[in-house]
Every structure is written in structure tokens, then in C-alpha cells.
Amino acid sequence: MTEFDQLFKALNITEKSLQEKILKVGIVQTVPKNSFIIEQERYIKWLALVITGKVRVWQENEDRQILLYYVNPVHTCVLSLSATFRDCKSLVNAKTEEETIIVKIPVRYVTEWSFEYKSWNNFTTNSFIFSYEDLLHSYKNLAFSKIDKRLLDYLQSESKTNQTSFINLSHNQLAKEIGTTREVISKILKQFELSGIVNLKFKEIELL
Amino acid sequence: MTEFDQLFKALNITEKSLQEKILKVGIVQTVPKNSFIIEQERYIKWLALVITGKVRVWQENEDRQILLYYVNPVHTCVLSLSATFRDCKSLVNAKTEEETIIVKIPVRYVTEWSFEYKSWNNFTTNSFIFSYEDLLHSYKNLAFSKIDKRLLDYLQSESKTNQTSFINLSHNQLAKEIGTTREVISKILKQFELSGIVNLKFKEIELL
DNA sequence: TCTTACCTGTATCAAAAGGTACAGGTTTAA
DNA sequence: TTAAACCTGTACCTTTTGATACAGGTAAGA
């Protein structure tokens, strides 16, 4: 199964003529680990769809970062999507966390197809909806939850998505997900350990 | 000019057949000040479009609130929009701040039309895009800015949208916009006054 | 007029989060 | 094997934010 077939299947693209167009203008690209897909303040020329791998999308300040979301197979970064509808600079950064295969579509087709093909329309609409709700959820968390709660939520959701109770991230990496500093994470993790919620090892956190 | 005409004009709806459909299924409703349009955890049956007036959309916890956005003429609440695409409970509250005239469209048509009519498609897509970017902006602010900065930003943007340097809100109301408590707002405003940034009167803040 | 509800200012204390500093562990690659 | 880069733990202090409490002002309606 080619990358395109995977794409068609995942997005439910059954229209033959759309498939042909995608085959014609889409570009399959293998992006090595830790490469930037988008950088804050730069223009977006392609819509990138992740076929395999994982892309981290975040925002940053001078000295802090905060995670927005991960793009997993087979999804797209909603912000490139949004950017494709109007020529503008990216508000975020996106970087591969593993070797990642993407399909790139030039932005001009994205809008066109969304009115022409039902499946493409569904894809774009759903991307917006789910991303919006996801961001809304993060916003609420940020507004109302203390850091310890947010950290625990993060660990639990990591554990769940990776099907393992071991989380292999440094305190520094966690700080950049949550939007705080390393020391704060270390302190809270230590409290968690004393409360019997986790086991701490070097670069490894076990959820109990 | 009827409410519908205003709607057609604002959303650039030129297709005659869509206009007819909207006239047929749309309902014009005058909602008094301080009425709920949507409540958290309740199902959404209509897409509401604000023709005149103002609707506040927020999230709340047990004891706190935080503003999401205002819906002004002629826009819609993106969250009702998102909800119309999939049957689900509302994640937010929406309440009129003034007497407000809305046009209600039953949810089932919203999706249908978005594929059938270019103008409607643009409307829904643009709503998603702008709302997403707006929320993203708020998220970044919340993550990286202290309360004083956020308060000042809020005051300045209020002043700008209302074309006046006087903001007639109580400290309590401000606290609910920013997501903090009244005392914190009072303290910061007092600092602002000492720094010569504002003048404080009863229920009135003048930006200098 | 009086009551009631809401508004503002402020002092004090407590908790949450961040900054600085340092000691020592682990990994990697030269 | 050694240096460099990164990791963890922790102590101490500061700033930010929140909670509690109280005094007194303002507005609106009975």
C-alpha cells in the first residue's frame, strides 16, 4: 500500500478524480527526526499530511514553550490547514519527533477541493472542529488547573496513548510541554513520588 | 432592510436558492438582555447568527470564569457552528449582553449547505479559521503573560472596539473576563493608577 | 427614607510558581 | 578516559496570585 493509498483510506477519499489530482500534485517526503516542518513567522506553502511518524506543534516565547498538540497519522496540522485558506505567516512551530513520512499538497488546491469534493470537505471541516475543541480543552485546563494537575493529566494521557506506564521524558522536556520550568517539574514529580503516584528513574517516570 | 437582508449582505450570500432556503427555515428572534443562548452541557439544536446586539461566550469552573470571545454582528458563535456538525453538548456558555436579534437556523441545514453553496462554505470555513486563530492568541497570552499584562491588553482592546477611553465595567466583571478574582484586579488597577496609566472612578476606568 | 445589593480599597496571610545556585549523576562521543 | 552536555535533586528566596476579612461608598427600588 502506497502512502497515497493510506491517505485515501484514512480520509475516506473515494472520488476517483480527486485521487488522481492528489497523485498528480501531492509529494511524498520522508522527513528525518527533529526537522522543522513549520517555523513561527514563516509563510506556509504546503499542506502537510502525516502518513507515519509524529509531529510536535508548539508555541514559544523568549524563554518558554507550550505544547499545542501532536500530529499523528493520518492527520494534518490544523494550522497549516487554516493558513492555506489565507496567505499568512505561521503562528506556531512544528517539528518531527521521529522520522516522519508526509504528503505535501500545494496550498492552492486545498480550498478548491474543499468545495468540489465531499470527502475533502469532510476532512477539512473535521480537522477544524476537532482541533478547535481540543484547543478549547487545553485553554480551560490552562485557565483553571494548577500545574500539578496539568502535569498528572499529561503523564496519564501519554501513558494511555503509548500503552505503557513508563514515560521516557526528561523534566526539561516535560516543562516545555506544560509551559513551565524544569525546577517546578522536578519539585512536583518528587511530591508525586512521595505520595506513591509515580516511580522516578533517570529519564523515566513510571505511573503507578 | 430586513434581518435576512442584512445577513445575506454580511455573509455575501448571493445565490437566490440559498436565500430562499434561509428565508424558509430561518427564524428571527429578539432575545432580551442577559438571556442564555447556550448553556454548558446542553445540546445545541440551532445555529444562531447575531444580527444586532452582542453575545458573550465564556467557560466556567466552580468558582471562576474566563472569557472566550464576544459574538458581534454579523457573526456566529463558532462553537454552535462546530456543534452543528456533530451532535454534541455545548462546552461553553453564551449570554446576551444587550438586547440581541438573532437568526436561528436548524442545525441539519448547516452542513448540507456548506457543500452546496460557495458563500455558505466560505462563511463556515472563515468562522472556523478566525475563531481558531483568535483562541490560539488567547491561549498564548494565558500561557505566557502575567495578569497585569492581560488586563491592560483587555482594557486597551475594549477601548479600541468601543471607540472610547472609558471602560464601564466593575472590577468583578473584569475578573470574570480575565479569569481571576476581584481583589487581584483591584490591586493591579490601583498600581496602574499610581503609574499614571489609568484614572479610576466608580464603575469607570479611563485609559490615559 | 431605608434596605439591600453591589462596588471599591486595603491589610494580612497563605499558597503557587518562578529564579538562582550548586552538588553530583549519566551519557555520549571525541 | 575524559570532556562536554545534559540530567536530577534540593535549598533558599522572590514574585505572583489567591483567600480572608473588614470598612465604607454607591445605586436602585420598596
Residues of B with Cβ-Cβ distance to A59 under 8 angstroms: 136, 139-140, 143
pLDDT at B21: 96
- The Å distance, CA of A183 to C1' of D11, is 12
Q: What is the pLDDT of residues A18-77, one digit of tens each?
A: 999 999 999 999 999 888 887 766 777 888 999 999 999 999 988 899 999 999 888 887
Quick one: B165 exposed, middle or buried, by C-beta within 10 A (0-12, 13-18, 19+)? Answer: middle
Q: For residue A74, say if its preceding peptide bond is cis, omega within 30 degrees of 0.
A: yes
Quickly give B104 CA vs C24 C1' distance in Å. Answer: 66
Q: What is the pLDDT of residue B142?
A: 96
CATH entry, B147-207, from 1.10.10.10, 3.40.50.720, 1.10.3720.10, 1.10.287.3510 = 1.10.10.10
Dihedral angle of Cα A19, A22, A23, A25, to the nearest 10 degrees: 160
Q: What 3-state class would DSSP assign to B12? A: coil
Average pLDDT value for residue range B110-139: 91
pLDDT bucket at B9, cuts 50 / 70 / 90 = very high
Strands A166-167 vs A198-201: parallel, antiparallel or unpaired: unpaired
Domain with CATH 2.60.120.10 in chain A: 3-144
Residue B97 CA to D27 C1' — how many Å? 20
Count of beta carbons in the 10 Å neighbourhood of residue A58: 18
In this structure, the protein residues whose CB atom falls closer than 7 angstroms to any atom of nucleic acid strand C are A 63, 146-148, 179-181, 183-184, 202; B 170-173, 182-183, 186-187, 189-190, 200, 202-203
Nearest-Cα residue of chain B relative to residue A127? B128
Query: Cis (ω within 30 of 0) for the bond into B74?
Result: yes
Where are the CATH 1.10.10.10 domain residues in chain B? 147-207
Q: Which fold has domain B3-144?
A: Jelly Rolls (2.60.120)
